[in-house]
Amino acid sequence: MTTVKVMYSAEELADRVENLASEIAAKVSGNLTVIGVLKGSFVFLADLVRALDKAGLPCHVEFLRLSSYGSKQKASGDVVLIGDYPDVNDDRTVLLVDDIVDTGNSLTYAVKLLKASGRERIMTCTLLDKPSRREADIEVDFVGFTIPDEFVVGYGIDYAEDYRSLPYLGMVEKVD
Ligand code: IMP
Ligand code: MG
C-alpha cells in the first residue's frame, strides 16, 4: 500500500505562491507572457497568474508541452516539443513556469526553443528546485522551494498520472 506524507500543505503553498508573485512583480516590468510547461505546472500556474494579477502584474498565458525520452529515473536528456509552439508577441517578456527543475534539461530546452525564435527577455520560474540532481547549466530566476532529492506528488505533479489533483504537495511512501 502507498500513502502520501505531506511536505507542504495547501496553506503553505498558497503563502509561498503569493510571496513569489510579489518577488516576480518587483523584478518584471512591461508586458508579460507566462508560459506553463505542461502538464505538471498547471495548478501552480493557475495560482501564480492570479497572484501576479493581485501583485499588479496582469499577464498573458500560453502553454508548451515537452516530452523526454527514456525513463524519469534515468533521464536521457533528450527533450522534444510536442504540439504547438507558444504564441508570443515580440515585445513581451516571457516567464517560463515549470513544476520541478530536476536535471534541468527540460527547462534548458524550453529556454533554447524560445531564444531560437527570437525571444530575448526570458525569465524562468519553478515551484520546486532539486539542485542536487542538476545536469544542465541553468540558474532558475524564481524558485518556490528548494527541496532534497525526494520524489514528490500533488498540486499538479504526478506519479504515473496519479496524484495531480491532491491540493497539497507530498512524498509517496510505501507501507506494509
Ligand atoms: P528535468 O529537470 O528535465 O530533469 O525534468 C523535470 C521534470 O521531471 C519535471 O517537470 C517533472 O515533470 C519531472 N519530475 C522531476 N522530479 C519529479 C518528482 O519528484 N515527481 C514528479 N515528477 C518529477
Ligand atoms: Mg514537467
Report CA-CA distances (Å) from 73 to 109, 122, 143, 150. Answer: 19, 29, 23, 12
Q: Residue 77 has what pLDDT?
A: 67
- Please say whether the beta carbons of 52 and 34 come within 8 A: yes
Cell, residue 28: 518584471
Ligand in closest contact with the CA of 68: 1
Report pTM.
0.94
Residue 73: is its pLDDT beyond 80?
no
CB neighbour list of residue 159: distance below 8 Å, 6 or more residues apart? 151, 153, 172
Residue 131: which pLDDT band, with cuts at 50, 70 and 90?
Answer: very high
Rounded distance, CA 5 to CA 2, Å? 10
Pocket test residue of 129, 157, 169 for ligand 1, highest count of atoms within 8 A of CB? 157
pLDDT digit string (tens) for 21-63?
999 999 998 899 999 999 999 999 999 999 999 999 999 999 9
pLDDT averaged over every residue in the chain: 92
165-176 average pLDDT score = 90
pLDDT of residue 63: 96
Is 102 an annotated catalytic residue?
yes
Q: Give the Å distance between the CA of 162 and the centre of ligand 2.
A: 14
CA atoms within 13 A on the CB side of 174: 1
pLDDT at 70 over 90: no
Residue 84 banded pLDDT, cuts 50, 70, 90: confident
Strands of the sheet with 2-8, listed across from one edge? 2-8, 169-174, 152-153
Residue 40's alpha-carbon distances to 17, 54, 56, 97, 109, in angstroms, are 16, 23, 25, 10, 16
Is the CB of residue 108 below 6 angstroms from any atom belonging to ligand 1?
Answer: no
